[in-house]
Amino acid sequence: MKRLIFKVLTITTIIIAPMMLSAQDDSSALRQGQGSETLRLTLDQALEIALSESNTIKIADMTVEKTGYARKGSYTALYPNINISGSYQRTLLKQVMVMEMPNPITGETQTAEIKMGRDNNINTSASASMPIVNAQLWESLKLSGLDVELAVEQARSSKIAMVKQVKQAFYAVLLAQKSHEVVANVYENAQKNYEKTLQRFNVGKASEVEHLRAQVTMMNAEPNVSSAENAVLLATWQLKAVMGIDLDTDVEVVGDLNDYTAQMLTPYVSEEDLSNNSSLLQLGIQGRMLESTIRMQKKQYLPTLAASINYNYSAMGDEELRWFPSSTAAVSLSIPIFDGFQKHYSIKQSKINKNMLDLQREDTERNLRIGIRNYNDQMALCIKNYQAAEATVEIAQKSYDISEKMYEVGKATLVELNDAQLALQQAQLTQAQAVYNFMVTKASLDELIGKE
């Protein structure tokens, strides 16, 4: 009996504790179910709340929005750049120019001091410029579009990962509840056995050792019920943290691991399609970005053509201002000739980065396919374990029923009854553990293949 209880608590702790250590402290303004009302959660409801309340999803959506604005901002380079400026200058001390001039009458050289400038200077101008031919700029616009595509894929990856985390946390709660049910049944049966043993002891049909054994078994089982309840609470906290709701929200997880038995035993078709895997899709987008970068760097060798127009309106004077307009229009052509091989070496570096990315993508795909096969093998093993445990549960239940009746009539000892109960509860726990392992592994497989 002690071995059963220890195993139940150990399995529950091993499953839940690491998840609590890696859980994000995502608390939001959601207060559903607080107070006297309890929020009843199915798996679909938990996923819906997580995808709307989790800070991870909100940050991913904001990143997409921010990248979209950056893309729109890059298109502004195609529009005219118009500026208006104005300035006023007051001359505090005029510049003096000294000039030597011959006297036309005497022929002697005379020195003359001439003050330059005016007391007031006003200048206003309007200018406009825009690129006419700039291949590098046009390619950079394509690159900004790929930035948005990458941000969208990263957001999708965050949502897929969130779905997996919520599913696994939800299944962990169901397993903790099943473990609590096992421990509660052990305690309930221990109570019944103690009462039966006490009745037999009072009429002299049971020894004092047997009576004390039944009492100790019952007393040892009682505190383990509280420990199992704490394990359920711990798993529920983990679920609420992953969902992004307040930890004080009253939540009741609705469901049972047996609800997923039909899904588990449905003929399963192995999925090895990696076309929707987020990691490979992101690497693919990054590869296209590098290709675009290389094209953009090559187009730096091409000439650029830009047009500009400028209009000035200025005035100068001491007391009375006189205004003078002026205007210019220009077309500028820039032809790159030599830059010390800077562009050449930049292109070489980008090509090497592209080759490195291709190798990284190849290794990633190989490891992902290994992961798919591993998950499929684990799921197949879970199905075998469940089927074996299912037959064991049926046999163990019959054995326990027979032992219970034999104990009531004094043909079996308490030790034999406890052993039969241990075998039954152990088979039930193994069966539940097989369902849990299958569903957790399937959630990981769905994330790996990019299933939404």
Q: What is the pLDDT of residues 34-70, one digit of tens each?
A: 444 788 899 999 999 998 888 888 888 898 898 888 8
Q: What is the pLDDT of residues 120-157, one digit of tens each?
A: 899 999 999 999 988 888 888 888 899 999 999 999 99
Residue 419 burial (C-beta neighbours within 10 Å; 0-12, 13-18, 19+):
middle
Residue 112 lies in a domain: no
Q: What is the mean pLDDT of the chain?
A: 84
4 and 161 Cβ atoms separated by less than 8 Å? no
Residue 106 lies in a domain: no
Q: What is the pLDDT of residues 158-174, one digit of tens each?
A: 999 999 999 999 999 99
pLDDT beyond 90 at 436: yes
pLDDT beyond 90 at 360: yes
CATH number of the domain where residue 61 is located: 1.20.1600.10
Residue 108 lies in a domain: no
Residue 50 lies in a domain: yes
Beta strands in 91-234 (DSSP E): 95-102, 109-116, 120-133
pLDDT beyond 80 at 103: no
pLDDT beyond 80 at 369: yes
- Strand, helix or coil for residue 378: helix
Lowest mean pLDDT among 129-133, 371-375, 396-400: 396-400
Residue 201 lies in a domain: yes
97 and 280 Cβ atoms separated by less than 8 Å? no
DSSP 154-183: HHHHHHHHHHHHHHHHHHHHHHHHHHHHHH
pLDDT beyond 70 at 17: no
The Cα-based distances of 273 to 167, 283, 306, 377, 378 in angstroms read 22, 16, 49, 16, 18
Domains: count for the chain: 1
CA nearest neighbour of 131 among 139, 120, 122 = 139
User: Taking the CB of residue 76, how many other CB atoms lie within 10 A of it?
Assistant: 9
- Strand, helix or coil for residue 106: coil
pLDDT beyond 50 at 366: yes
Full domain range(s) for residue 356: 2-82+134-303+338-448
pLDDT beyond 80 at 110: no
342 and 397 Cβ atoms separated by less than 8 Å? no
pLDDT beyond 60 at 306: yes
Distance CA 116, CA 59 (A): 63
Distance CA 231, CA 8 (A): 10
In the structure encoding, which two tokens stand for residue 380, read together? 């197949």
The Cα-based distances of 331 to 137, 310, 311, 334 in angstroms read 18, 12, 15, 10
pLDDT beyond 50 at 16: no
Please give the share of the chain, as a percent, with pLDDT higher than 70: 91
pLDDT beyond 50 at 29: no
Lowest mean pLDDT among 235-239, 341-345, 427-431: 427-431
Please give the pLDDT value at position 270.
Answer: 61
Please give the share of the chain, as a percent, with pLDDT higher than 90: 42
Mean pLDDT within 109-124: 83
User: Strand 251-253 vs strand 39-41: parallel, antiparallel, or unpaired?
Assistant: parallel
13 and 175 Cβ atoms separated by less than 8 Å? no
pLDDT band at 357 (very low <50, low <70, confident <90, very high): very high
Please give the pLDDT value at position 91.
Answer: 86
Residue 189 lies in a domain: yes
Amino acid identity, position 242: V
Q: What is the pLDDT of residues 184-223, one digit of tens each?
A: 888 888 888 888 888 878 888 777 888 888 888 888 888 8
In the structure encoding, which two tokens stand for residue 101, read together? 């001039």
Please give the pLDDT value at position 273.
Answer: 82
Please give the pLDDT value at position 15.
Answer: 45
Residue 123 lies in a domain: no
pLDDT beyond 60 at 21: no
265 and 179 Cβ atoms separated by less than 8 Å? no
Phi and psi angles of residue 128, each rounded to the nearest 5 degrees, phi first:
-140, 140
Distance CA 1, CA 7 (A): 10
Higher pLDDT, 206 or 396: 396
Distance CA 168, CA 412 (A): 43
Mean pLDDT within 318-346: 90
Residue 61 lies in a domain: yes
